[in-house]
Amino acid sequence: MSTRYRIAVTGTPLPPLTYQGEDNLATGIRVIVPVGHRQQVGLILGIDEHPLGKFTLRDILAVLDTTPIWTTAELALLDWCSRYYHANWGRVLETALPTALRQAKIAKTIKRPLIAHPAQPNLVTLNTEQQQVLHSLQQQLDRFHVSLLEGVTGSGKTEVYASIISDVLTKGQQALLLVPEIGLTPQMLARLEQRLGTAPIALHSGLTDAARGKVWQLTRTGVPLLLIGTRSAIFAPLPNLGVIIVDEEHDASYKQQDSIRYHARDLAIMRAKLQNCSVILGSATPSLESLANVTQGKYQQLKLTQRANRQPIPQLFAIDMRAQTLEGSLSPQLLTAIQNALDHDEQVLLFLNRRGYAPVLLCHDCGHTLDCPACDVPYTFHRTKPNLRCHHCGRVAHSPRECPQCGSQNWHLVGQGTQRLEEVLMGHFPNTPVLRIDRDSAQGKNKLPELLAQIRNGSAKLILGTQMLAKGHDFAGIQLVGIIDVDSALFARDFRTLERLAQLVTQVSGRAGRGNKAGKVLLQTHQPHHPFVQALLTQSYDQIAQDLLAERAQTHLPPFGHSAWLMAEGRKLEAVQQQLNRLLVQVSNPLVQLSGPMPALMHRRQNYYRELLWLQSDNRTALHATISQLLDALNQPSVAISGIRIFLDIDPQDMP
């Protein structure tokens, strides 16, 4: 006897294939199947009910598991992922299944390698607010429910998480805690271990393939445990899931930026729905998406408004850079403030915000920007003439010699000089080493924790960092924070940039100036009167977020409309543009707005030109139908141009 099975195959970009094998193989177990002349690991998705075609089917060669890797509900999440992100199952497995489990080795079952010690009684007594929040959360366990826990930095969210996780473990269930960056959470791990009486299991990119595989073999048994992980931990098998917590839910690192560009927060919500458990989204600065879901009554909002240890919130000031003599991108006021802090043996943190950056020309003396008359947004500056181009309507213009507002010939290119920032700092403060923290300097295992330790133990005085440093972290000794370049965010092409800037400023302000002295946050800008700069200085994050939401509603941008981009990449610019133009004529749906081809922010990367189509619609179904049509068209020889690679981002968080 034999049965036909639908099998998702690793190592191929293919949809599921049909093979035959012995009866009664369970859905969700791994097998080895032949693909061409190779053997690959496959995952049984179910029995193939279709009538037998005229081809003879190939046989399953071996069975790797005795019990399913993923439950039916978990497989439904992967299936959703495949459909929503328009990626075949082969690619989904490449993203979701750790390398160790994609290899054709029979996995050994492993025992829990942990020693449980008795849970410590809660060392802190939850304050009234924390107790109320905990009580609400406890009411919602055991069914699908989303809570947005908005707690100012230092309000004790982690203590609340610990209590709810403890409840879940006591019931014999599993808990999943997603964090943006594992390197930033050693204290959190230690605290949770102490509170829960058992070490959390960590899953992140720093683990070896074998270690990842081991974690999977453990979690899939369903034993009660807390799994803490970054983005990809959302795919870990947790058959007995009781709660998912997404800490710092607004953080952009929950969005994968290559291969399948999934959003771990969105998957968390889908997963909780499928596994019938509750989700807690925590943040001091919730995403506009989540706030809109609260307004629509889909999520329940819970608030922690007080800091557990009542530290003062630092004050924010704008530095007017106009007509100042700059050193690189540093104003004399900021340099003086840094010198002062260093003289008092205090730590200084300088932030460089480069996300979504577009070069804009403005008058250094009066701050005037050169705007497209049709769109009222600043032109983007290009090295090739004509220099000024509008990225909304395509209009071009020549840059004038003199500022039309004040007559100055002193032009400033926003973001210019930031590359040299480290040099300028070293030149100006020769006796103080600069600690730089960004993707490059933090590369390598344990590198980030080492760098962070230097901040925490006070040995690093002058710290230069990117967004990476703004995540859920206390640096008690930092008294002064400088945000180098606010303007690049004001003029960015990316509609999320202002939201990100508000989050960054709020998060950073929440982390500086602990202890008894109130800290200071300085924002450098050529536009001190810009309404958004004023809002940052005078309004709460919630007020700013509500204003930004109103704007998004007007412009039909997410979370009110839905968006996607499709990027073509190739060595010849004409071919890249032609590819996108050929695609454009394949589709037309009055519900979907399509624009492009337009150059990517980074137009040329490693000798490849990159251009995109931007898709936007109020109707998600229509948007996805159009994307399917575009991708189908690429299978036609008359449409596809060889040598062009295509990338797709659904619900993009960034413009490429």
**Alpha-carbon distance 164 to 192, whole Å?**
11
Name the one range near Zn ion by CB under 5 A: 158-166, 213-221, 395-403, 542-550: 395-403
**With respect to ligand ADP, which residue has the nearer C-beta, 125 or 642?**
125
Token pair in block for residue 444:
């390598």
Chosen from Zn ion, ligand ADP, none, partner binding at 124 (C-beta under 5 to 8 Å by type): ligand ADP
Decide the pairing of beta strands 315-320 and 300-304.
Answer: unpaired
Closest C-alpha to 365, from 399, 400, 334, 325: 325
- Give first-to-last CA distance, the chain, whole Å: 53
The kind and range of the H/E element at 317 are: strand 315-320
**With respect to Zn ion, which residue has the nearer C-beta, 389 or 552?**
389
**Alpha-carbon distance 459 to 597, whole Å?**
50
Q: Does 409 bind Zn ion (CB under 5 A)?
A: no
Token pair in block for residue 445:
């295992």
Chosen from Zn ion, ligand ADP, none, partner binding at 153 (C-beta under 5 to 8 Å by type): ligand ADP
Closest C-alpha to 341, from 479, 465, 522, 476: 479
Q: Does 368 bind Zn ion (CB under 5 A)?
A: yes
Among the listed residues 155, 256, 347, 525, the single contact to ligand ADP using CB under 6 A: 155
Q: Does 157 bind ligand ADP (CB under 6 A)?
A: yes
**With respect to ligand ADP, which residue has the nearer C-beta, 165 or 598?**
165
Chosen from ligand ADP, Zn ion, none, partner binding at 363 (C-beta under 5 to 8 Å by type): Zn ion
Decide the pairing of beta strands 396-397 and 347-351.
Answer: unpaired
In whole angstroms, how far apart are CA 291 and each of 158, 192, 545? 21, 28, 8
Whose CB is nearest to ligand ADP?
A: 156
Among the listed residues 110, 124, 453, 550, the single contact to ligand ADP using CB under 6 A: 124
Q: Does 374 bind Zn ion (CB under 5 A)?
A: yes
Q: Does 126 bind ligand ADP (CB under 6 A)?
A: yes
The kind and range of the H/E element at 279 are: strand 278-283
Burial pattern 169-185, b for ≥16 Cβ within 10 A else e, equals beeebbbbbbbbbbbbb
Q: Do the beta carbons of residue 512 and residue 473 sit within 8 Å?
A: no
Name the one range near ligand ADP by CB under 6 A: 100-108, 147-155, 350-358, 524-532: 147-155
Token pair in block for residue 83:
């459909």
Q: How far is the CB of 598 from Zn ion (least distance, A)?
A: 12
Among the listed residues 16, 28, 90, 154, the single contact to ligand ADP using CB under 6 A: 154
**With respect to ligand ADP, which residue has the nearer C-beta, 309 or 606?**
309
Chosen from ligand ADP, Zn ion, none, partner binding at 602 (C-beta under 5 to 8 Å by type): none
Q: Does 185 bind ligand ADP (CB under 6 A)?
A: no
Chosen from ligand ADP, Zn ion, none, partner binding at 130 (C-beta under 5 to 8 Å by type): ligand ADP
Which amino acid belongs to residue 511? Answer: R
**Alpha-carbon distance 15 to 21, whole Å?**
19
Q: How far is the CB of 515 from ligand ADP (least distance, A)?
A: 13
Q: How far is the CB of 409 from Zn ion (least distance, A)?
A: 9
Q: How many CB atoms lie within 10 A of CB 446?
A: 10
**Alpha-carbon distance 301 to 290, whole Å?**
9
Rg (CA), the chain: 27
**Alpha-carbon distance 105 to 159, whole Å?**
41
Q: How far is the CB of 157 from ligand ADP (least distance, A)?
A: 3
Beta pairing partners, 480: 348, 520
Name the one range near Zn ion by CB under 5 A: 4-12, 83-91, 370-378, 633-641: 370-378
Token pair in block for residue 355:
């996300």
Chosen from ligand ADP, Zn ion, none, partner binding at 406 (C-beta under 5 to 8 Å by type): Zn ion
Q: How many CB atoms lie within 10 A of CB 419?
A: 12
Chosen from Zn ion, ligand ADP, none, partner binding at 642 (C-beta under 5 to 8 Å by type): none
- Residue position matching structure tokens 């960056």: 181
**With respect to Zn ion, which residue has the nearer C-beta, 382 or 392?**
392
Among the listed residues 326, 366, 573, 575, the single contact to Zn ion using CB under 5 A: 366
Q: Does 303 bind Zn ion (CB under 5 A)?
A: no
Q: Do the beta carbons of residue 353 and residue 501 sit within 8 Å?
A: yes
Q: Does 410 bind Zn ion (CB under 5 A)?
A: no
Q: Do the beta carbons of residue 535 and residue 551 sit within 8 Å?
A: no
Give the largest CA-CA distance in the chain.
Answer: 88
Chosen from Zn ion, ligand ADP, none, partner binding at 366 (C-beta under 5 to 8 Å by type): Zn ion
Chain positions 307 to 326 lying near ligand ADP, rule: CB under 6 A, are: 308-309
Among the listed residues 66, 276, 405, 446, the single contact to Zn ion using CB under 5 A: 405
What does 31-61 look like in DSSP terms, one character per residue? EEEEETTEEEEEEEEEE--SPP-SSPPPBP-
Closest C-alpha to 302, from 456, 148, 155, 159: 148
**Alpha-carbon distance 358 to 381, whole Å?**
8
Q: Does 130 bind ligand ADP (CB under 6 A)?
A: yes
Q: How far is the CB of 284 from ligand ADP (least distance, A)?
A: 7
Q: Does 159 bind ligand ADP (CB under 6 A)?
A: yes
Q: Is the dihedral of CA 375, 379, 380, 384 positive or negative?
A: positive
Q: Does 408 bind Zn ion (CB under 5 A)?
A: yes
Decide the pairing of beta strands 30-35 and 62-63.
Answer: antiparallel
Q: How far is the CB of 592 from Zn ion (least distance, A)?
A: 22
Q: Does 286 bind ligand ADP (CB under 6 A)?
A: no
Q: How far is the CB of 375 from Zn ion (least distance, A)?
A: 3
**With respect to ligand ADP, which residue has the nearer C-beta, 194 or 253?**
194
Name the one range near Zn ion by CB under 5 A: 185-193, 195-203, 236-244, 393-401: 393-401
**Residues at the contact surface with ligand ADP, assessed by CB under 6 A:** 124-127, 130, 151, 153-159, 308-309
Point out which residues bind Zn ion (CB under 5 A): 363, 365-366, 368, 372, 374-375, 390, 392-393, 395, 403, 405-406, 408
